[in-house]
Amino acid sequence: MDKLYELTERDGLPEALKVLLEAYPREVWQAHPNFAGLVAFWLERHEMFRQLCEVMGTDAEGVVDGRMDPQQMKGRLSRYGSMLLQNLHGHHQIEDMHYFPMLRPKDTRLERGFDILDRDHHAMDGLLNRFAEGANGVLQGKVEAGRFREELAGFEGLLLRHLADEEDLIVPVILKHGPDGLA
């Protein structure tokens, strides 16, 4: 697959993979009859990942700016970092083992998109390991909050890119074909 489609290189899905997104733009998702249930839950999980990154980044900035006690940040980082790692790993496993194999055949025009998302998940494994190392470094007093915040910002940018692309590909498939067999 072209390097252009790698998580660290792209700024969105190729236009050819947005064919269902054009028919089901984000503005209509919540009003669609197939939104409630699985899609709503899945998007809530994605929002949780976004919020966890935001909280940890804000905490690290607070330590750097002197607005937050480093010990308080460490306690919150331990809690929220663990939550992010555990939930994101589990989320990707369910997608890889259950959702993606069931959704892939529903629209063969999107095959390359599923390949891209699969590659993202492999790339995210390494990113999650680096995140864990950085967070553990902070907890052990070996990494400063400012450096962690910079590393987190890079991780967060790639995670947000992946989540947006995943949503743009997957949600329209479920809206069009329904959640049968996925839940």
pLDDT tens profile 131-175: 999 999 999 999 999 999 999 999 999 999 999 999 999 999 999
CB-CB contact of 116 with 55 (8 Å): no
Is residue 140 domain-resident? yes
Residue 72 lies in a domain: yes
Q: Round to whole Å and give the CA distance between 46 and 44.
A: 5
Task: List pLDDT tens digits, range 102-133.
Answer: 999 999 999 999 999 999 999 999 999 999 99
183 in a structural domain: no
Q: Domain count of the chain?
A: 1
Only one residue has tokens 């369910």, namely 94
Q: Is residue 57 a part of any domain in this protein? A: yes
Phi first, then psi: what are they for 68, rounded to 5°?
A: -135, 140
According to DSSP H, which parts of the chain are helical?
19-23, 26-29, 38-65, 70-94, 100-103, 111-139, 145-177
Range of the domain at 162: 41-77+113-178
**For the residues of 82-100, what is the DSSP string, one character each?**
HHHHHHHHHHHHHIIIIIH
Contact 115, 140 (CB under 8 A): no
User: What pTM does this model have?
Assistant: 0.95
